[in-house]
Amino acid sequence: MTKLGQWLCGLALLGSAWAALALAPPGLQPPAPLRQALLPLPIYLLVAFGCYSLATVGYRLATFNDCEEAAAELQEHIRAARADLRRRGLHL
């Protein structure tokens, strides 16, 4: 099963559990405070997921390390390519 399939199965399971509690079938009547907290729960979870995603991206961006050796090697390749193009008659 792909990762997308796993996420969709998990979301379907959580969504069906939420719908079963939120729609309150005749045999299952949750107390009023629980029902009031249960109805906006998907929005709270979506906001929490957004905050987590933003924090993760911010942390990864803050701790991203520079690869100075790779940058120097790439600059050397660029210089060699420009010299080769000049030798072939193309001037940049």
Asked if residue 12 belongs to a domain, the reply is: yes
Tell me the mean pLDDT in the region 23-31. 79
pLDDT tens per residue, range 31-82: 888 888 888 999 999 999 999 999 999 999 999 888 889 999 999 999 999 9
Task: Give the chain's length.
Answer: 92
Contact at 8 Å (CB) between 92 and 82?
yes
Classify burial at 21, counting beta carbons within 10 Å of its beta carbon; exposed 0-12, middle 13-18, buried 19 or more: middle
CA 8 to chain centre: 15
Domains of the chain: total: 1
* Boundaries of domain holding 70: 3-87
Q: Residue 92 pLDDT more than 80?
A: no
pLDDT band at 28 (very low <50, low <70, confident <90, very high): confident
Q: Report the predicted TM-score, pTM, of the whole model to 2 decimal places.
A: 0.59
pLDDT value, residue 65? 85
Asked if residue 92 belongs to a domain, the reply is: no
Asked if residue 69 belongs to a domain, the reply is: yes
